Structures are given as C-alpha cells and as structure tokens.
Structure 1
C-alpha cells in the first residue's frame, strides 16, 4: 500500500494520500489549509487519480482545502453527518473567540460546501458496533464513529495487503496525547468512551496515523500516553 503523509499549513495538520500503489486511484484524508500543493505533487509523482476526499472530522485545519480539491477533481467529500455543517461554516466548530483569532491570522473561514458530499451515515452498518465500510479506490475502509473531539469525529481503519493494520485517528488520539474536548460540540465523557471502546481494544501493533504529530502504535500509547488508558481517560490532551 502507498501512504504519503505530510503536515500542512499553519496548523501542521497531517494530510494523507492513500492508494493500493502507484498508477491507480487514491483517497485523500484531511486536506487542510495549505494541502493543495503537496497533494497535487504527490498524485503527480505517483501517477494517481483521486477518487474521494475523506474527513476524520470537520475542523477547519482538516477540511480547509476539501472543497477545492474535490470539486477540482469531480469527486465527493465524505464526512459524518454531525460535522457536515462545518464544511461551509467552520467557525461553528471552534467558537467565536478562536474563529476571530484564526481569521485575524489570515486564514479565511468563509468556505463553501463541496459540490458532492457523502455522509458515512448513509452506509449500512457492518455489525453491532455501528461501524460502516467505505469501498473506494480499491480500498476497504472501516469507519468508526469516535465522538468527543467533535460530534462527528471518526477513525479510519484498514489492513494493508502486506498485513499491517492502520488507524487514521484524526484528532481523537495522538502520540502521547488525545484530542481536546473543550471546543463547541466536544464532550470529555464521549471522548473517554471513544478511546475505551474503539481504540483501546485494537491490536498493539496497529499503526496510528494521527491528525497532528508523529505516527505511533496502539501498544506504545497503552504504556506511555498518560491520557490513554484502559479507562479511556480523555481528561486532558492536546490543544489541537
């Protein structure tokens, strides 16, 4: 599997380009501010054809380039229904004080919804977990609802042809920390539940590709992350 990841923009939000290999279709995960140029470079270098944009959640540092990329390639943006309003009104997700600071830094918040939006909610559940599966670009991506950072936060899980397990955790779990729950729509109890029920049970060798910072593994976080325990404590964490 081909995974190209890089931090983009002033917020250093991680964007990922996923494909079975060079010369085929790909998906783009979390194209935030400043992601357009490096995504374009990656798909050109590997001769890829974008098939979809996937959002782990609707915060502006993860979706700022979503509409431009999706509409430019004629592809959909997939997002959880609860976070869909943030595609066109990202200020709702960060509150007036932070929105004012972001706008003052020069990052526009007057976004538009992409021409085509898919809601993960419209996909049939795989089992009693409520997880759904998105089949796109030859990939089978398990979408797990992990509210707490935002109401519509999700984690993307998939297994590579080589046998590795990957989890794209957005701002739910980082190396050494977890996502904040004090922004509009955040909920510390929901975050704790998401960590406990969705991420803690994963195999220790699952590679975590987070929304900010370095990659890690579930096993590493179990022993070193003070916010990630068997109880799924989400009582602190990053400012992301």
Structure 2
C-alpha cells in the first residue's frame, strides 16, 4: 500500500520503507497526536518520536523488537503523556531539548541544536526551532538514497508554523523554520508533523510570505 501519512485515532498505523529506515506513523487520542516509530533496517533498533498517549497502542506498534530511544519534540503534555509507561515497559533512553527538559518527566539526556541521535546505523540531526516552546526540536534524517525527512513536532504543519503566544514568539519560530528548514533543504523534503497529515517543503514554500504577513 502506498504511504500517504493519513492516520486517525483508533485507526491503523501507516508504514513507509526507506533505504535504511522504516517509519511507522500512528495517531493516538484524545488530541489526535502523531507518534512515529523509526526502525533501522540494518540493526533492528527502534526509536519513538513523541510518546504522546495510549501506551498500549504504542507498545503494540513497537512490538517484540523493543525500543532503544524516545525523543520528545517539546514540553507540551499531549506529546509525553505515555512517556513514563513506555520507558518502564521498554527501558528506552529518553531525550529532549535542554530548554524544555525540566517540564518533561524522566528525561535522561538533554539535547542542543546540531546534536546527533542514533537509531541503529541511522543518524538523526537535532534542529532547534524556538517559538512554539523554548525547547521545541525537529529531527532531520538525510536519506542518502532519497529525499530528506523531517519530524517537526508542533513547529511546522501543512498551512503554517505552530501556535505561538504572540508576534515575538511567532517571529522567532518563523525565522528558525525558514532558515533551518526552508533555506537549507530541497522542496521534496517530507514533513511529518505532530498532528494531522504530512506535507513537503515544496508544497508550503509559496505560502511563506502569507504566513509572515498574517503572523500565525
């Protein structure tokens, strides 16, 4: 089945196979959060992006292969409600950005912009995107056999950047998203957000002036 990224709470997961990595996307309630299980083809190691909620469903996707790492994209509670249970069940190591870590339970290692996280033989780059929260991050996978892939949490969605508290925070987020994603990566870069459907940088790039003008 062709991967589209269309998932819904209670519905089936969607899996995409890349050259060195598989990505399984699942939506969990009650806030329709996306969680992503990444699996290294060469080692079988798995990494979870956002233990949002519904630990039993997430553990069902993780399966018998277990879990090495959990990365929380930011401190908002809907992105880590299942984190303590997932860590207890799997023994995984918990990562989050240093600016948000104090408000996320059970963070083992703090991250900074430009750090690298390993999922088996696959490297993911930490991209710090200020504005939605002080420590929001994206994870960039530069697939040597294809296009880049970015897990953006609540910093970038189809139709705009994430919610901010005011114009100053919006300007921070817009500047970081533009400089660190749009100015750096090609149009076919695939975006996996924290809620809703996927998109690409090329689909969103023409709307950047509109986003800046409206301020959200």
- The answer to whether the superposition gives a TM-score over 0.5 is yes
Alignment counterpart, residue 6 of structure 1, candidates 13, 17, 26: 26
Question: Offset of 1:137 from its aligned partner?
Answer: 2.6
In the TM superposition, residue 232 of structure 1 has moved relative to its aligned partner by 5.6
Q: Secondary structure at the match of 1:190?
A: helix
Structure 1 vs Structure 2 CA RMSD? 2.2
- Secondary structure in 1 matching 2:163: coil
Asked whether the equivalents of residues 87 and 94 of structure 2 are also in contact (C-alpha less than 8 Å), the reply is yes
| 2:131 match | 148
Matched, 1:120 2:103: no
Say yes or no: does 1:85 pair with 2:65.
Answer: no
> What 5-or-longer segments of structure 2 have no aligned partner?
1-20
| Residue matched to 1:57 | 74
Moved beyond 6 Å, runs of 4+:
none
Q: Please list, as runs of the form range in 1=range in 2, the aligned pairs for 1:125-204 lying within 5 A after superposition.
A: 130-160=113-143, 162-182=145-165, 187-201=169-183, 202-204=185-187
TM-score scaled to structure 2, two decimals?
A: 0.82
Cα 1:22–1:4 shift into 2, 3 Å:
farther
**Which has more strand, going by share of residues?**
2
Determine the C-alpha separation between the residues in 2 that align with 1:153 and 1:7: 20
Match of 2:215 in 1: 235
Indicate conservation of the 8 Å contact 1:22/1:48, yes or no: no
SS at match of 2:133: coil
Residues of 2 paired with 1:16 and 1:43: CA distance? 10
**More displaced 10-residue stretch of structure 1: 156-165 or 143-152:** 156-165
Cα distance in 1, alignment partners of residues 94 and 160 from structure 2: 28
Structure-2 separation of matches of 1:119 and 1:187: 22
Structure 1: segments with no counterpart, 5+ residues: 88-112, 122-129
> Residues 233 and 149 of structure 1: is their aligned pair in 2 closer, same or farther, counting only changes over 3 Å?
farther
Q: Cα offset for 1:163? A: 2.1
Separation in 2, partners of 1:135, 1:86:
24
How much has 1:13 moved relative to structure 2?
Answer: 0.9
TM-score w.r.t. length of structure 1: 0.74
| Change over 3 Å in CA distance of 1:53–1:232 after alignment to 2 | farther
In the alignment of these two chains, the number of paired residues is 194
Residue pair 2:73, 2:136 contacting (<8 A) in 1 also: yes
SS at match of 2:68: strand
